[in-house]
Amino acid sequence: MDQLFLEAVPILERIEEAGFEAYFVGGSVRDYILGRPINDVDIATSATPLEVKAIFPKTADVGIEHGTVLVIMKSGTYEITTFRTESGYTDYRRPDSVQFVRSLTEDLQRRDFTMNAIAMDKSGEIIDPYNGQRDLSQKKITTVGNPHDRFSEDGLRMMRALRFVSQLDFHLDQETFNSLKKNGPILREIAVERILVEFEKLLAGDNRIKALNLLLESGLYQYLPQFAGQKGNLEKLLLLPLHQLTVTEMWAVILIYTNMKNIEASLREWKLPVKTIRSIQRILQLVKKEPTFEASTLEVFKAGQIHAVQAAKVKAIVNDRNVLEAEELMKLMHESLSLTHMSDLAVSGEDLLTWHKEKPGPWVKKYLEQILVAVLNSEIKNEKGEIKEWLNTCNLI
Ligand code: ATP
Ligand code: MG
């Protein structure tokens, strides 16, 4: 067993000693069987949240209404969720009621895909009533039970199916895919924040092109913010080396290819964090300024290293040039700047006011920028004396 499971075995034992059942479940068991690295382990138990809290001295209520208690141990913190079923999804998002049950099989039945409905006990024995292991070996994503019913209960599962395609390089079971094609409109009912999480995981996964292709083929894209009517434009993305970009850079590329005019409004509809929106806006501004050629030293200086590199990569994609080369070049260009902050300039506004007996005004900023450009372009050294002399010869002071 993986070290992370071994560390958590004492927790399963404590719950069992108290007279209840407890198992590892969900993504960690799936990834363990696949031989993929696991990040955290989820535990499911027949004990109710109150019973779990009575067993462990240190706990926190993180999602107690859904049956989840956080158990705090020396080895780390663990989410322990009571076996439950969900019934009635009148709003297509959240179950009307969560019912705690004492049976593992019932709990596994409410899970989205067979590969995510496998449990493992403390000795490493697998409990797999829905043939998740068979689907894992065939690299197949299959819903637990009828896909139509399962997607109608919670439309987000359709996006989860596609993000797993991207993360795991799996394919969709035929019936599951057919149902995906029919149930797209249900996505309209799902909170955009939840869709965003799955869409960004899709973008970050290694098999993003395969998953994006399915997003288009199934018609699901029409029900994502801003993507309706964009099939032709989104198809262009499939030909790009997106794997060389970060997710933020991918957003910039998506906005360019889908001709989004109002960037802020589009990204707000996607519910991206304001900080990310600002980064994307900055990248797009820089790309727009010099869409085809390398940026000037002044632009690189003003953009700062991070944005200058991001913009260079996006420009390279748009111009069908080598992205890694563009990235390296821009890094070198930024490293070779003779200064990176205005405060590094050897003269200040104060100096200019002393040398040039003028009243303070917009000229100070203008002169400073002229000096900056001259220093950045190595016309003069960043030295007070030399700068003063240069200003003299230019008749500026
Ligand atoms: P990851 O490795 O990305 O965390 P995961 O499979 O663990 O993948 P989580 O969102 O952490 O995904 O969910 C944990 C488990 O809860 C899933 O494996 C699945 O069994 C169940 N689950 C999560 N979301 C849903 C859902 N929308 N419908 C049904 N079951 C779900
Ligand atoms: Mg998980």
Report, as an integer, the average pLDDT of 211-223.
98
Q: Where are the domains of the chain?
A: 1-138, 142-224, 241-337, 343-393
What is the CATH number that goes with domain 1-138? 3.30.460.10
Q: Provide the β-strand partners of residue 100.
A: 84
Instruction: Give residue 141's pLDDT.
Output: 98
Q: What is residue 262's DSSP assignment?
A: -
Report, as an integer, the average pLDDT of 31-53.
95
Structure confidence at residue 163 as a pLDDT band (50, 70, 90): very high
Rounded to whole angstroms, the Cα distance separating 48 from 108 reads 16
Instruction: Give residue 94's pLDDT.
Output: 64
| Token representation of residue 78 | 């663990």
Report, as an integer, the average pLDDT of 48-58.
96
| Token representation of residue 186 | 């249900």
| Token pair 């382990």: residue | 41
Rounded to whole angstroms, the Cα distance separating 277 from 264 reads 7
Rounded to whole angstroms, the Cα distance separating 49 from 81 reads 8
- Position 137 pLDDT exceeds 90: yes
Domain at 343-393, CATH from 1.10.443.10, 3.40.50.720, 1.10.150.300, 1.10.246.80: 1.10.246.80
CATH class of 142-224: mainly alpha
Residues 6+ apart with CB under 8 A from 380: 371, 374, 386, 387, 390
Query: What is the whole-number distance in angstroms between the Cα of residue 40 and the centre of ligand 2?
Result: 7
Structure confidence at residue 397 as a pLDDT band (50, 70, 90): confident
pLDDT in tens, 78-93: 999 999 998 666 665 5
| Token representation of residue 268 | 């707000």
Rounded to whole angstroms, the Cα distance separating 138 from 172 reads 10
Instruction: Give residue 66's pLDDT.
Output: 87
Query: What is the whole-number distance in angstroms between the Cα of residue 28 and the centre of ligand 2?
Result: 7
Instruction: Give residue 96's pLDDT.
Output: 65
Report the relative pairing of strands 171-172 and 140-141 from DSSP bridges.
parallel
Rounded to whole angstroms, the Cα distance separating 382 from 375 reads 6
Which of 28, 83, 112 best tests ligand 1's pocket when mutated (most atoms within 8 Å of CB)?
112
Instruction: Give residue 204's pLDDT.
Output: 98
Structure confidence at residue 102 as a pLDDT band (50, 70, 90): very high
Report, as an integer, the average pLDDT of 357-386.
93
| Token pair 């990235």: residue | 327
Contact (CB, 8 A) for 25 and 46: no
Rounded to whole angstroms, the Cα distance separating 367 from 14 reads 73
| Token representation of residue 215 | 């997003």
Query: What is the whole-number distance in angstroms between the Cα of residue 93 and the centre of ligand 1?
Result: 15
Instruction: Give residue 221's pLDDT.
Output: 98
Report, as an integer, the average pLDDT of 305-327.
94
Task: Please give the torsion angle defined by the CA atoms of residues 311, 314, 316 and 320, in that order, rounded to the nearest 10 degrees.
Answer: -160
Query: What is the whole-number distance in angstroms between the Cα of residue 41 and the centre of ligand 2?
Result: 8
Instruction: Give residue 156's pLDDT.
Output: 97
| Token representation of residue 35 | 């031989």
Ligand 1 atom showing the smallest separation from residue 26 Cα: 18
Instruction: Give residue 261's pLDDT.
Output: 86
Measured in whole angstroms, the distance separating CA 21 from the mean position of its chain's CA atoms is 35
Instruction: Give residue 288's pLDDT.
Output: 86
Structure confidence at residue 364 as a pLDDT band (50, 70, 90): very high
Q: Is 27 in the pocket of ligand 1 (CB under 6 A)?
A: yes
Instruction: Give residue 179's pLDDT.
Output: 97
Contact (CB, 8 A) for 332 and 354: no
Residues 6+ apart with CB under 8 A from 124: 1, 5
Structure confidence at residue 296 as a pLDDT band (50, 70, 90): confident
Radius of gyration of the chain (CA): 28
Instruction: Give residue 253's pLDDT.
Output: 97
- Position 98 pLDDT exceeds 90: no
Residue 325, class by beta-carbon neighbours within 10 Å (0-12 exposed, 13-18 middle, 19+ buried)?
A: exposed
Residues shown for the chain:
397
Q: Is 145 in the pocket of ligand 1 (CB under 6 A)?
A: no
Q: How is domain 241-337 classified at the CATH fold level?
A: Methane Monooxygenase Hydroxylase; Chain G, domain 1 (1.20.58)
- Position 317 pLDDT exceeds 70: yes
Q: Provide the β-strand partners of residue 87.
A: 97
- Position 22 pLDDT exceeds 70: yes
Report, as an integer, the average pLDDT of 184-197.
96
Instruction: Give residue 244's pLDDT.
Output: 97
Rounded to whole angstroms, the Cα distance separating 231 from 305 reads 34
H helices of the chain, in order, are 3-17, 27-34, 49-55, 104-109, 132-137, 147-153, 156-168, 174-183, 192-204, 208-217, 231-237, 247-257, 263-269, 274-289, 297-318, 323-335, 349-355, 362-376, 384-393
Contact (CB, 8 A) for 10 and 43: no
Instruction: Give residue 95's pLDDT.
Output: 65
Least confident residue range of 79-93, 137-151, 295-309, 339-353: 79-93
pLDDT in tens, 236-295: 999 999 999 999 999 999 999 998 889 999 999 999 999 999 999 999 999 988 766 667
- Position 348 pLDDT exceeds 80: yes
Rounded to whole angstroms, the Cα distance separating 57 from 78 reads 13
Ligand 1, atom 10: closest residue by C-alpha: 27
Contact (CB, 8 A) for 127 and 103: no
Q: Is 107 in the pocket of ligand 1 (CB under 6 A)?
A: no
